[in-house]
Structure 1
Amino acid sequence: MGLYLLILLVAPAMVNSQTNNCACIQVYNPVCGINGRTYSNSGCAGCAGVSVQCMGECPCRSPGNPGNCACPFIYDPVCGFNGRTYSNSCTARCR
């Protein structure tokens, strides 16, 4: 009997430590994360463990010059539609 009681007391603690209790509401208010990915809102970015770089879809625009993108300095090379290699997906979308 004592062994069964111990298992019942330990099992819920193990389940709670493995679940993500983060709630991401389904409201579309896009934000761009510091990883260059667009999230549906800041809560969803937070649930993913990503800080918000700017409001709106990626890539972020520089405040002084709206034609230039403000992409993170992350080297994760991608091939653009034009066949050129870019340092990450944000810079590929920006060009």
Structure 2
Amino acid sequence: MESTKNLILRLESFDDLVIAAAKGRTPYLIARYTQDLAKDFHHFYTFTRVLNADTDVMKARLMLVQATKQTLANAFRLLGISAPEKM
């Protein structure tokens, strides 16, 4: 449960981080954020059943997966980095 909470909090902080990075002209903050988000997602996905949960829980967890994917894509776009759709 802790990994889920950490992931949600990390996702929630993205908008404020982008504003701070823009105001301070410090794009490295976004790069560091993507690394931290990837780490939080890895921990979440390693220790949390996503597809083998109850239907409502599974839907909520899949939305977290989608939100992570979208946030990483947004961060990469801001940094001018292209990322593959699949790995």
The structure carrying a bigger strand percent of its residues is 1
Give the TM-score category using the shorter length: under 0.3
Q: Which has the higher Rg, Structure 1 or Structure 2? A: 1
* Structure 2 length-normalised TM: 0.24
TM-score, structure 1 as length reference: 0.22
The one of the two structures with greater contact order (alpha-carbon pairs below 8 A, sep at least 6) is 2
